[in-house]
A and B are shown apart, each in its own frame.
Chain A
Amino acid sequence: MNKTAMTGMEGSLAMAEAVRLANVDVVAAYPITPQTHIVERLAEMVANGELTAAYIPVESEHSAMSACLGSSATGARTFTATAGQGLELMHEVLYVASGLRLPIVMGVANRALSCPLSVWGDHSDVMAVRDTGWIQIFAENGQQAFDLTLCAFRIAEDPKVLFPVMIHIDGFHLSHVVEPLYLLNQEQVRGFLPPFVHPFPLDPDNPVTMGAFTVPILYSEARKSMETALRSTRPLINYVFDEFAKLSGRQYKPVEHYRTEDADTLLLTMGSFSEIAMEAVDHLRDRGDKVGLIRLRLWRPFPFDELRRASENCQTLVVLDRCVSPAGPPGPVCSEVKAALYAQKKRPNVAGFVGGLGGRDLTPGEFVQMVERGKVIAAQGGEEIEFIGVRG
């Protein structure tokens, strides 16, 4: 168990510290708000000799991810970080990372997308890269930014996985907030994270062709192979979370519960707003309402079974999306949750809300409103998209 002392640290710096402890070989990154502190700190560590790694200051995020491909393909432990528009600029290269099965780890300080320009947090950037084939995990506080980054390397590089992993930390709410947290020491991390061995890296003595042209008679087989492999990483992700719990005492799960016992209504959140939702749940429980919270820790591969089990006994499930799907379904998370539950014989009514966009806070009171309005929508129906916390 971890006996290190509690320290105060910003979420971005906690992630950078995890990357240092992982003894990463290559960092290729381009600074963008609100992610900048992560790679700024890593550049400082390399310059100061605290971390022996190649730091590649590239000219764009597209180049950052492209450099990461080459680096990871040689068998080097590779990290980058980005946010918002930067994630969009590297979009096409993200598919290459997962298609080539390169275990790159990336921190994403979730940010709204232009236009209008906003550097503040929401999940628009995440949802646009939903189908890139990366494993995607959401942190909800600074401690998790540290812990899950270490888990990400262990998951990504496991021979049974070999997929890239994104760790999502909400822009500013997590990236720029100093929180009390526990670090691990180098010996502990060394025991948890074995060296990365790529099964067939780029090697002049044993040449392989990566990223070859694929004709129609083979492309579908290649995609099914990759999709099946990503789906089958689930047990290993759970195993790594369990191993991390043995090391740290902090247990993560694909779907986490808060006061869900006997709940007739559940909130569902991802990321930092989960802690605000907990306050709302406490308030509602105090006044006698049977309300709980489930948080999706794992976004991809989607935790179907855990979500179904977690929600099967409630009557109303209220889902918050920090992203708009313009003129589409209520929100990406809500529509995925509905799809996951549709075929279940016993399932709750699902009410979706969109809020917390572009750095807008949601208060515990607004979560209470969502629960109350959600029950009405569940019984009587509502607007196609219900916004929360929007004036007028």
Chain B
Amino acid sequence: MSARKKDSEITWRDIELGAVIRTPGNAAEYKTGDWRSEKPTWNKDRCIKCGICALFCPEGCIHHDKEGYFEADFYYCKGCGICARECWTQAITMGPEEQ
């Protein structure tokens, strides 16, 4: 695909031969955060920093913050709620995505 054009601006003439992608790892540019209808929030008072949320996150988008607590990268987080479902201490709650 042609470099750095938005998907909506790519024409059929821009498609590479065989529709191959010649930039390795460019799936990272693909924003899935806008699929979200609910978003997780972490209650640091209940969090024991076990990391089970990060292990279960199917998007791999939950990371440590500087203090060792966990947070989601909302560019990718789809709001699936698996982290909240798996959290042993119910430190994560799913709430409506703000418009």
Footprint of B on A, CB under 8 Å? 99-102, 162, 199-200, 207-210, 212, 214-215, 217-218, 220-222, 224-226, 228-229
A216: shortest Cβ distance to chain B, in Å? 10
Q: How large is the interface on B (under 10, 10 to 19, 20 to 34, 35 or more residues)?
A: 10 to 19
> Among A99, A199, A208, A215, which residue has its beta carbon within 8 angstroms of that of B21?
A208
> Is B3 at the interface (CB under 8 A from chain A)?
no
> Is B8 at the interface (CB under 8 A from chain A)?
yes
- Asked if A209 contacts B20 (CB within 8 A), the reply is yes
What residues on A are CB-neighbors of B18 within 8 Å?
99-102, 162, 210
> Is B28 at the interface (CB under 8 A from chain A)?
no
- Asked if B12 contacts A221 (CB within 8 A), the reply is yes
- Per the bound structure, the CA–CA distance linking A100 and B18 in Å amounts to 4
Question: CB-CB contacts of B16-37 with A at 8 A, as 1s and 0s?
Answer: 0111111010000000000000
> Is B97 at the interface (CB under 8 A from chain A)?
no
- Asked if B8 contacts A217 (CB within 8 A), the reply is yes
What residues on B are CB-neighbors of A200 within 8 Å?
17, 20, 22
Q: Taking each of B1, B12, B22, which has the highest tally of chain A beta carbons within 10 Å of its own beta carbon?
A: B12
- Asked if B21 contacts A222 (CB within 8 A), the reply is no
- Per the bound structure, the CA–CA distance linking A199 and B14 in Å amounts to 16
Q: List 24 A-B contacts (CB under 8 A).
A: A99-B18, A100-B18, A100-B19, A101-B18, A162-B17, A162-B18, A200-B20, A200-B22, A207-B24, A208-B21, A208-B22, A209-B21, A210-B18, A210-B20, A215-B7, A217-B7, A217-B8, A218-B1, A221-B11, A222-B12, A222-B15, A224-B12, A225-B13, A226-B19
> Is B10 at the interface (CB under 8 A from chain A)?
yes
- In the complex, the chain B residue whose C-beta lies closest to that of A199 is B17
What residues on B are CB-neighbors of A199 within 8 Å?
17
What residues on B are CB-neighbors of A228 within 8 Å?
12
Footprint of A on B, CB under 8 Å? 1, 7-8, 10-15, 17-22, 24
What residues on A are CB-neighbors of B10 within 8 Å?
218, 221
- Asked if A225 contacts B15 (CB within 8 A), the reply is yes
A231: shortest Cβ distance to chain B, in Å? 13
- In the complex, the chain B residue whose C-beta lies closest to that of A97 is B18
Q: Taking each of A102, A210, A222, which has the highest tally of chain B beta carbons within 10 Å of its own beta carbon?
A: A222
- Asked if A225 contacts B7 (CB within 8 A), the reply is no
- Per the bound structure, the CA–CA distance linking A169 and B11 in Å amounts to 39
- In the complex, the chain B residue whose C-beta lies closest to that of A216 is B7
> Among A209, A217, A221, which residue has its beta carbon within 8 angstroms of that of B15?
A221
B26: shortest Cβ distance to chain A, in Å? 8
- Asked if B20 contacts A208 (CB within 8 A), the reply is yes
- Beyond contacts A101-B17, A102-B18, A226-B19: 6 other A-B pairs, Cβ-Cβ < 8 A, are A200-B20, A209-B24, A212-B20, A218-B1, A224-B12, A228-B12
- Per the bound structure, the CA–CA distance linking A191 and B11 in Å amounts to 39
- In the complex, the chain A residue whose C-beta lies closest to that of B22 is A208
- Asked if B19 contacts A214 (CB within 8 A), the reply is yes
